[in-house]
């Protein structure tokens, strides 16, 4: 359990940092530990990552069952490991299920993951899940762009408060996109909340070696 806990904390730095092969190897090691020592309340996140890896590699026949198993484990052991429910829900909702379900069908799990992350103190994962919810609304068109634009500020403020640059910059990028779609005359100008135009925003992100938003 201690090894799994340590390895779980390596997942985000490896994945976001672009160390893809190391990330895959460390996920497979966690899955192997579950085979050697049995299933535990710590394992749901590992199986959500395994599901994502299967989807990335085109092994979809394994991706969905792995995602379903991860979700089932996270709900089963929510009292023992609420942080796992938040992390697992985030991966399954935003990275596994979109291969198999319409994006409008994942909002409920996304909200559960966000709430679980907040309640367990997983603020960074709450930030990840929060910014994905905006993108999901944008791509599913279940909210109009003007309606969604009114909601950006709260998400931007939250991620700015916890200094979650990846989530913050992703939201700022989406806010600019929405503003330009609503008013093409705004292209190249500063957007209300972010106070950046495209050029200054790109300079900001590249200056901090943060490439997700751009």
For the stretch 86-103, pLDDT in tens is 999 999 999 999 999 998
Q: Are 142 and 104 in contact (CB under 8 A)?
A: yes
| Rounded Cα–Cα distance for residues 103 and 207 (Å) | 33
Q: Which residue has the higher pLDDT, 10 or 201?
A: 10
Mean pLDDT of 74-91: 95
Mean pLDDT of 123-142: 90
Q: How confident is the model at residue 153 (pLDDT cuts 50, 70, 90)?
A: confident
Mean pLDDT of 151-170: 89
Identify the three-state secondary structure at position 207: helix
- Tokens 């991620």, located at residue: 159
- What is the percentage of the chain residues whose pLDDT exceeds 70? 95
Exposure of 78 in the CB half-sphere (CA atoms within 13 A): 13
pLDDT of residue 189: 65
pLDDT of residue 32: 94
Q: Which residue has the higher pLDDT, 40 or 212?
A: 40
Mean pLDDT of 152-169: 89
Residue-wise pLDDT tens digits, 172-184: 888 888 888 888 7
pLDDT of residue 165: 87
C-alpha dihedral, 15 to 17 to 22 to 25, nearest 10°: -10
pTM above 0.85, yes or no: yes
pLDDT of residue 1: 86
């Amino acid at each position: 359990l201690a090894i799994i806990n340590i390895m779980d904390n390596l997942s985000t730095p490896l994945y976001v940092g672009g160390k893809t092969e190391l990330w895959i190897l460390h996920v497979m090691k966690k899955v192997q530990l579950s085979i050697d020592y049995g299933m535990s309340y710590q394992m749901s996140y590992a199986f959500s990552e395994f599901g994502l890896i299967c989807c990335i590699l085109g092994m979809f026949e394994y991706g969905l069952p792995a995602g379903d198993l991860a979700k089932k484990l996270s709900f089963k052991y929510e009292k023992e490991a609420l942080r796992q429910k938040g992390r697992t829900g985030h991966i399954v909702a935003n990275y596994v299920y979109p291969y198999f379900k319409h994006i409008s069908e994942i909002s409920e799990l996304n909200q559960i993951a966000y709430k679980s992350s907040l309640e367990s103190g997983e603020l960074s994962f709450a930030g990840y899940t929060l910014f994905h919810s905006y993108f999901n609304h944008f791509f599913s068109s279940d909210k109009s762009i003007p309606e969604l634009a009114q909601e950006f500020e709260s998400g931007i403020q939250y991620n700015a408060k916890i200094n979650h640059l990846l989530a913050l910059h992703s939201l700022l990028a989406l806010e600019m996109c929405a503003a330009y779609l609503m008013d093409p005359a705004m292209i190249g100008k500063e957007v209300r909340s972010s106070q950046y135009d495209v050029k200054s925003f790109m300079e900001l992100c590249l200056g901090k070696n943060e490439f997700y938003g751009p």
